[in-house]
């Protein structure tokens, strides 16, 4: 790391910082410019040490040289990680599509949806049983009953299933029914939850937080990886900005950034990313063109009767159309859906 001293830093302050760095085991290089002294510190230390140096008198700021994630970094693992969920493989040439309703509502609804998305080419079924709703008065999901229905619909159609887990207390239960855990955007920095799914032996779909930088997102993945679970798939689902035309701002550059910095597969959720079903089609195409390793899309047989997220849900017909368009784009970029 590099320690930039204040202009007014005294010789004694500079000395003290250098000494402390050495005591921490860093190799130290001083560089005195006309206006500032800069101290280079070689070594790889814990975040605490960095903050402690930053809080010393005379220090203006610290510039870290190395990224803070290790296991999630390309440098740790140059080849791309592949995560298998049923027959779907994330991180290879294939671009698997996860589809299903926002929430599991009834046996008929989830089965009908499962059949429709399977027919159109989806290879993983999604559906929420525990729903993180902004309002306590909104439908909160069917809980275990929803998990059962989801699993049955998956079994009936031969599709593996992914569903959100919100509470560490529910991990065991969800583990029984799901083929893949989903960590929602609002829980991306729920570190207790991350550690616990990190101890499970099951793939994890880690959505990006609404206001998380790419680096913080990779740090959240690092929590799971460092707990022993290497099967992490990242999911860009839009960030919060000033723009109100869309529910969130889908940041497709994040796909390129993740592929630049990490070996983990990254998929895109154009449903939450836009909040409007009309925009899901173009953004699904764009995601695949940008290099996404998969898609996750909300589909409901009757969006106007959905208990959540109807406005952004595709009908089965629109989903089938989306799959066709996405297939053409995948081919154009040398991949297949």
Report the site for a second copy in 150-169 (rule: CB under 8 A): 166-169
Nearer of residues 85 and 99 to a second copy, judged by Cβ:
99
Q: Work out how close the CB of 128 gets to a second copy at its nearest, in angstroms, rounded to a whole number.
A: 13
x/- letters, 208..237, toward a second copy (CB under 8 A):
-xxx-xxxx--x--xx--xx----------
What Å distances lie between residue 173 and 25, 50, 124, 191, CA to CA? Answer: 46, 40, 20, 19
Residues in contact with a second copy, total (CB under 8 A)?
111
The answer to whether 107 contacts a second copy (rule: CB under 8 A) is no
CB distance 188 to 207 below 8 Å: yes
Rounded CA-CA distance 193/227 in Å is: 11
> What six digits make up the tokens of 184?
């929602």
Instruction: Determine which residue in the list 10, 22, 25, 52 makes contact with a second copy, applying CB under 8 A.
Output: 52
Question: Which of 88, 279, 294, 316 is in the footprint of a second copy by CB under 8 A?
Answer: 279
Under the binding rule (CB under 8 A), the answer on residue 13 touching a second copy is no
Binding characters for a second copy, 69-88, by CB under 8 A (x = yes): ------x-------------
The CA angle 126-131-137, to the nearest 5 degrees, is 145
Residue with tokens 């609404």: 210
Select from 109, 123, 271, 313 the one that contacts a second copy (CB under 8 A). 313
Closer CB to a second copy, residue 179 or residue 222? Answer: 222
Strand-pairing partners, residue 234, are 206, 266
Virtual torsion, Cα 83, 88, 90, 92, nearest 10 deg: 110
Nearer to a second copy, 95 or 159 (CB): 95
The residue among 269, 262, 202 whose CA lies nearest residue 231 is 202
Least distance to a second copy, CB of residue 6, Å: 10
Nearer to a second copy, 155 or 240 (CB): 240
Q: Tell me if 314 contacts a second copy by CB under 8 A.
A: no
Q: Which of 269, 241, 242, 276 is nearest to 255 (CA)?
A: 269
Binding status of residue 92 toward a second copy by CB under 8 A: no
Q: Which of residues 79 and 245 has its CB atom nearest to a second copy in the complex?
A: 245
**Cβ–Cβ contacts within 10 Å for residue 173, how many?**
16
Per-residue contact string for residues 18-37; x = within reach of a second copy by CB under 8 A: -----------x-xxxxxx-
Q: In the complex with a second copy, which residue's Cβ is closer, 57 or 158?
A: 57
Distance CA 43, CA 40 (A): 10
The residue (of 87 and 305) whose beta carbon lies closer to a second copy is 305
Q: Does 139 bind a second copy (CB under 8 A)?
A: yes
In total, the chain counts a number of residues equal to 337
- Nearest distance in Å: CB 179, a second copy: 22
d(CA 165, CA 245): 29
d(CA 197, CA 177): 15
Residue 172 is a binding residue for a second copy (CB under 8 A): no
Contacts of 61 (CB under 8 A, 6+ apart): 4, 54
Query: Which of 324, 328, 313 has its CA nearest to residue 128?
Result: 313
CB of 108 to a second copy, least distance (A): 17
């Amino acid at each position: 790391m590099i320690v930039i001293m204040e202009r007014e830093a005294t010789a004694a302050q500079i000395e003290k910082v250098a000494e402390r760095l050495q005591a921490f085991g860093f190799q130290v290089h001083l560089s005195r410019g006309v206006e500032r002294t800069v101290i280079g510190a070689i070594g790889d230390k814990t975040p605490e040490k960095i903050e402690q140096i930053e809080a010393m008198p005379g220090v203006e700021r610290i510039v870290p040289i190395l990224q803070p994630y290790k296991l999630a970094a390309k440098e740790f693992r140059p080849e791309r990680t592949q995560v298998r969920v049923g027959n779907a493989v994330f991180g290879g040439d294939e671009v698997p599509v996860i589809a299903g309703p926002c929430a599991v509502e009834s046996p008929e609804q989830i089965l009908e949806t499962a059949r429709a998305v399977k027919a159109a080419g989806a290879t993983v079924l999604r559906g929420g049983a525990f729903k993180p709703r902004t309002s306590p008065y909104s439908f909160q999901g069917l809980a275990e009953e929803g998990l059962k229905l989801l699993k049955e619909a998956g079994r009936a159609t031969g599709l593996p299933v992914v569903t959100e887990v919100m509470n560490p207390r529910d991990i065991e239960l969800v583990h029984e029914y799901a083929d893949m855990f989903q960590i929602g955007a609002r829980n991306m920095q729920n570190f207790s939850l991350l550690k616990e799914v990190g101890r499970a032996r099951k793939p994890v779909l880690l959505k990006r937080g609404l206001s998380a930088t790419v680096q913080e997102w990779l740090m959240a993945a690092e929590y799971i990886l460092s707990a022993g679970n290497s099967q992490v798939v990242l999911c860009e689902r839009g960030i919060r900005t000033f723009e109100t035309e869309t529910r969130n701002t889908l940041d497709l550059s994040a796909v390129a950034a993740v592929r630049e910095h990490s070996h983990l597969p990254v998929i895109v959720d154009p449903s939450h990313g836009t909040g409007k079903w009309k925009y899901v089609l173009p953004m699904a195409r764009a995601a695949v063109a940008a290099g996404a390793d998969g898609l996750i899309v909300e589909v409901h047989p009757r969006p106007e009767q959905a208990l959540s997220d109807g406005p952004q849900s595709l009908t089965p017909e629109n989903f089938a159309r989306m799959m066709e368009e996405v297939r053409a784009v995948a081919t154009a970029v040398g991949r297949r859906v």
